[in-house]
Chains A and B, each alone.
Chain A
Amino acid sequence: MSRIGVFVCHCGENISRTVDVERVAAEIGKLPGVALATDYKYMCSDPGQGLLKKAIAEHRLDGLVVAACSPRMHEKTFRNAAKAAGLNPFLCEMANIREHCSWVHEDREEATAKAIDIVRLMVERVKKDKALQPITVPITKRALVIGGGIAGIQAALDIADCGHQVLLVEREPSIGGHMAQLSETFPTLDCSQCIMTPKMVDVANHPNITLHTWSEIENVDGYIGNFQVTIRKKARSVDMDKCTGCGVCMAKCPQKKIKSTFDRGLGTRPAIYVPFPQAVPNTPVIDRENCTYFKSGKCGVCAKVCGPGAVDYDQQDELITEPVGAIVVATGFELYTINEKPKGSPIKGYGEFGHGTIPDVIDGMTFERLASASGPTGGKILRPSDGREPKQVVFVQCVGSRAREKGISYCSKVCCMYTAKHTMLYKHKVHDGQAYVFFMDARTPGKSYDEFWRRAVEEEEAVYIRGMVSRLYQKGDKIVVMGSDISVGVQVEIEADLVVLATAVQPRQGADALAQKLGISYDTYNFYSEAHAKLKPVECATAGIYLAGACQGPKDIPDTVSQASAAAAKVMTLFSRDQLEREPIVARVNERNCVACFYCKKVCPYGAVEEKEIRDRQGNLVRVVAYVNPGVCGGCGTCQATCPSKSVELEGYTDEQVMAMIEAL
């Protein structure tokens, strides 16, 4: 006969308000095998745990049920207490009578009856619990960082500086991300390139960082401490080892007129290119879609002019598989466009702004390129249509953002600040120009941020109009901006030379597909979800995977860098140990019953199932059965549900236990 102790918690009043905890204890005390059933105000408190420990010794308990909150909250707490009192921690289970009962019911009578049922089920389960020993697995002290924007760069440098190997995977030909495109940065107006490029060079030179640019994540297997990642190294068509970065190929390539994405279509580049002169690595790639050689088999100029013979048209994509122990996801953002969206997309474009057909209506990032000293205009503000200097520029904030009817209800966080920055940059370059800003309100929380915004308004004479723009259209060489000024309640119409839209910050296209490969969750917009909005802002719910930068939500550079360093600190904490203790909630095969159909192997999402040969003493093969590698098993139970002969079971959740629970109902 078992000697089970049951402890019913009041949780202050959280449980006792709706559930008659004394009655639950009294009823459960009558069950066979229950040696003690009692209630207490706060089981998780120090005295509460003390009560539990004392009872284990006094009543010689061989199993515990703590009827309280969710096991996600306190299972560890009580298992540790049990362990401290000399009881195997896996003989202690929680019955959730808070989230599953008191919080969701009002009727005291019914809630109490349900609480009794819940506790009774757990008593039956504990009766059949077995003492389990934790599993230890080694940690691969090597990190993967996905995305080489400022977030990924910062995280990679921090981890590498701590002495660990880092793989940095970037899908573009160069690292740098959006920050490399910016002109000057709020709130100090220092040159973005000047603070960014040294960090990029540090990455390239760091002995602990292996950089894979022009690469993407193909597949991720494994679990915390022991991931296996497959990286697709896209064919660059240039041998990284041979290329000296001299740039002769780019100068000689006859295809010169390809729109540069880095310059937001304002400048051009050849078919063999680096996205910008300070690119890291400084090795070009061939854009096979636009290269004459790949299109028609003729040309081959770059290969001819390349001194070291680095150009290689036959290069193929290469797949490499690398073991890593932790992953930092830093894939950043992209900007919303006002263009027409595909049918069925929850996000709408702006037909009233011409759906992107008016050439002098540009977005903020395009303005950054115009204002950048290394940009296509050499830092002169010239409008795209005719190259003239615009004398009246209208900036429109919250395009896409905070517009539920357009499909996005969140605030993009950086637009108020960068629009203020844009008005200043404009004023500094076009002294006789006038900037207007349509805005809902100015959101400037951040060190020196409000001061920065006030400077734009008060010293740099930007005219801020509180209101929305209802329509934009081309009239001659002007763009008519129709809006309202709600502070005085009038309609306004401005004939502008250039319109700059502060379009919403969105997750990358395909962010969801990457999340599915990684097994992490994401919100309705596809921003990656942190494990806890307040207390775990950089961890994913999936152990061993961390978030940094704008892929988790719109962020400015200081916030991005802070989060990246925080994610790096989490990785370093993990790497400070040699072994990871894992819960022994893993599947085990009954080798006598297994008929080797290997359905378990087919369905196991962790790849934990192997084929095991059983041989007799002479070494003859007797039979083949399934074997679950406990270090790899994630304890999901999929195999248990699939096995036709019920030959594989999850420890702690055996069929016998589950059936006993059902029968107790």
Chain B
Amino acid sequence: MNSTAQKLETSTPIDTSCYADVTDAIRKEAARILADGTVTAVVGYKAGRRAGTTMPAIVTDPAEAGGLIFSPACVNNLALYLTKAKKDVVKKGRIAIVAKGCDMRALAGLMGESQIKREEIFIIGVVCAGVKGSGAVNSEPLTTGNLARKCRECTVRTPEGADLVAGTMPSLPELTPVEALEMARLEAMTPAERWAFWKEQFSRCVRCMACRQVCPFCYCEQCLCDKNRPQAVESTPRPAGNMAWHIVRAMHLAGRCAGCAECERVCPMEIPLNLLNRKMALEMKELYGFEAGLAPQEKGPLSSYKEDDDQSFIK
């Protein structure tokens, strides 16, 4: 279980012709809404410095809309830019954002947590055949071999609830699941084995906090894990503090994280963070029939009480 895209034996190319249409549609829409004043900025992607890469871009001038793109390298979850970094993005007015189906789920979650208001954003949804996994070679085309693992089991390729959806979905080759297999392996472990597994994984954490920085839901300005009066979580990368940080992280994201896997992508130590996120999501589904990010929620299952809630854990 490591986060680099596994090279599968057969590597079939994926039809990415739709990305050009999507790019076109984004540019046209961005130019239009910037020009007519619907929005003051568009958060999207532009080409990166190296060929075959992309980077987040904030466009405020309609003339620059032509620089926006969409490609299999558009891995970032841009929802991040609407929360803690929002102040730097733009001071006033409505903002547009380019969102893949998976990013939409983060947007829905953030709306439920009063971080963004639906009427204050304009969502340019994009159909998505998948993005590349980490470790994929920049110059290679998208194939079933270098596809991000989360994309292999994606259920939201066409975003719902956007102001417009750019592009039409091509048909995709058969994709064998990877995340589901990993989860099955985790589930098959005894509690002691699972504890040992996570202990080993977390022992590698260097507390760079990249996972926190990239997560759209870690928007607290003062993270409790950085507090020192009182200190709840030791901040140096030592076993006890590492364990505490990862438990806090998992618990705070339970019922909120919708699995964009950005944390796992940015982790320099290849800790399978999204596996833990997905395990928490599975618990939420089994206990409360709840899936995060499908729609903005007034109250999630962890912040509400129902008489028929499962109480079996109280022994």
Give the shortest distance, in Å, between B88 (CB) and chain A (any CB): 15
Give the shortest distance, in Å, between A214 (CB) and chain B (any CB): 26
Known: A598-B114, A602-B298, A659-B231. 10 other contacts (CB 8 A): A516-B307, A592-B222, A596-B115, A597-B113, A602-B303, A602-B304, A644-B224, A645-B224, A646-B232, A656-B230
Cβ–Cβ contact A659 & B232, under 8 A:
yes
CA A660 to CA B229, docked complex, whole Å: 10
Interface of B is mostly: loop
Cβ–Cβ contact B113 & A660, under 8 A:
no
**CB-CB contacts of B240-254 with A at 8 A, as 1s and 0s?**
000000000000100
Nearest chain-B residue to A593 (Cβ)? B222
User: Is B198 part of the contact surface with A, judged by Cβ < 8 Å?
Assistant: no
Nearest chain-B residue to A611 (Cβ)? B114
User: Is A80 part of the contact surface with B, judged by Cβ < 8 Å?
Assistant: no
Nearest chain-B residue to A660 (Cβ)? B230
User: Is B221 part of the contact surface with A, judged by Cβ < 8 Å?
Assistant: yes
**Contact among A595, A624, A659, A660 for B220, CB-based, below 8 A:** A595
List which A588-624 residues lie within 8 A (CB) of chain B: 592-593, 595-599, 602-603, 624
CA A426 to CA B114, docked complex, whole Å: 71
CA A423 to CA B172, docked complex, whole Å: 86
User: Is B28 part of the contact surface with A, judged by Cβ < 8 Å?
Assistant: no
CA A632 to CA B97, docked complex, whole Å: 40
CA A654 to CA B141, docked complex, whole Å: 56
Nearest chain-A residue to B304 (Cβ)? A602
3 tightest Cβ-Cβ pairs between the two chains A and B = A659-B230, A645-B220, A602-B303
User: Is A392 part of the contact surface with B, judged by Cβ < 8 Å?
Assistant: no
CA A598 to CA B114, docked complex, whole Å: 7
Q: How many interface residues does B have (CB within 8 Å)?
A: 20
Cβ–Cβ contact A644 & B230, under 8 A:
no
Q: Given that A655-B230, A659-B232 are known contacts, is A642 also in contact with B303, CB under 8 Å in the complex?
A: yes
List chain B residues, Cβ under 8 A from A647: 222
User: Is B192 part of the contact surface with A, judged by Cβ < 8 Å?
Assistant: no
List chain A residues, Cβ under 8 A from B299: 602
CA A624 to CA B230, docked complex, whole Å: 25
Which of A592, A644, A646, A660 gathers most chain B CB within 10 Å? A644
6 sample A-B contacts, Cβ–Cβ < 8 Å, listed by A number: A597-B114, A597-B219, A598-B114, A602-B298, A645-B220, A645-B224
Cβ–Cβ contact B221 & A593, under 8 A:
yes
User: Is B184 part of the contact surface with A, judged by Cβ < 8 Å?
Assistant: no
Nearest chain-A residue to B253 (Cβ)? A644
User: Is B199 part of the contact surface with A, judged by Cβ < 8 Å?
Assistant: no
Measured CB to CB, the residues of A under 8 A from B are: 516, 592-593, 595-599, 602-603, 624, 642, 644-647, 655-656, 659-660
Q: Given that A644-B224, A645-B223 are known contacts, is A598 also in contact with B230, CB under 8 Å in the complex?
A: no
Cβ–Cβ contact A645 & B230, under 8 A:
no
User: Is B227 part of the contact surface with A, judged by Cβ < 8 Å?
Assistant: yes
List chain A residues, Cβ under 8 A from B220: 593, 595, 644-645
List chain B residues, Cβ under 8 A from A644: 220, 224, 252
Give the shortest distance, in Å, between A219 (CB) and chain B (any CB): 14
List chain B residues, Cβ under 8 A from A659: 230-232
CA A294 to CA B299, docked complex, whole Å: 38
Cβ–Cβ contact B221 & A595, under 8 A:
yes
CA A645 to CA B303, docked complex, whole Å: 15
Cβ–Cβ contact A646 & B303, under 8 A:
no
List chain A residues, Cβ under 8 A from B223: 645
Give the shortest distance, in Å, between A620 (CB) and chain B (any CB): 10
CA A408 to CA B274, docked complex, whole Å: 53
Which of A597, A598, A642, A660 gathers most chain B CB within 10 Å? A597
CA A603 to CA B252, docked complex, whole Å: 15
List chain B residues, Cβ under 8 A from A592: 222
List chain A residues, Cβ under 8 A from B231: 659
Give the shortest distance, in Å, between B64 (CB) and chain A (any CB): 28
CA A660 to CA B307, docked complex, whole Å: 36
Give the shortest distance, in Å, between B252 (CB) and chain A (any CB): 5
CA A595 to CA B220, docked complex, whole Å: 6
CA A597 to CA B221, docked complex, whole Å: 12
CA A502 to CA B115, docked complex, whole Å: 63
Nearest chain-B residue to A128 (Cβ)? B230
Cβ–Cβ contact A598 & B113, under 8 A:
yes
Q: Given that A595-B219, A599-B303, A655-B232 are known contacts, is A646 also in contact with B227, CB under 8 Å in the complex?
A: yes
CA A577 to CA B129, docked complex, whole Å: 70
CA A660 to CA B303, docked complex, whole Å: 28
List chain B residues, Cβ under 8 A from A646: 224, 227, 232
Cβ–Cβ contact B303 & A603, under 8 A:
yes
**Contact among A516, A599, A642 for B113, CB-based, below 8 A:** A599
CA A599 to CA B232, docked complex, whole Å: 20
Give the shortest distance, in Å, between B216 (CB) and chain A (any CB): 13
CA A599 to CA B231, docked complex, whole Å: 22
CA A55 to CA B34, docked complex, whole Å: 74
List chain A residues, Cβ under 8 A from B304: 602-603
Give the shortest distance, in Å, between A320 (CB) and chain B (any CB): 24
List which B224-270 residues lie within 8 A (CB) of chain A: 224, 227, 229-232, 252
Nearest chain-B residue to A644 (Cβ)? B252
List chain B residues, Cβ under 8 A from A599: 113, 303
Give the shortest distance, in Å, between B118 (CB) and chain A (any CB): 16
CA A602 to CA B220, docked complex, whole Å: 17
CA A17 to CA B44, docked complex, whole Å: 74
**CB-CB contacts of B287-309 with A at 8 A, as 1s and 0s?**
00000000000110001100100
List chain A residues, Cβ under 8 A from B227: 646
**Contact among B115, B221, B298 for A645, CB-based, below 8 A:** B221
Cβ–Cβ contact A596 & B222, under 8 A:
no
List chain B residues, Cβ under 8 A from A516: 307
List chain A residues, Cβ under 8 A from B229: 656
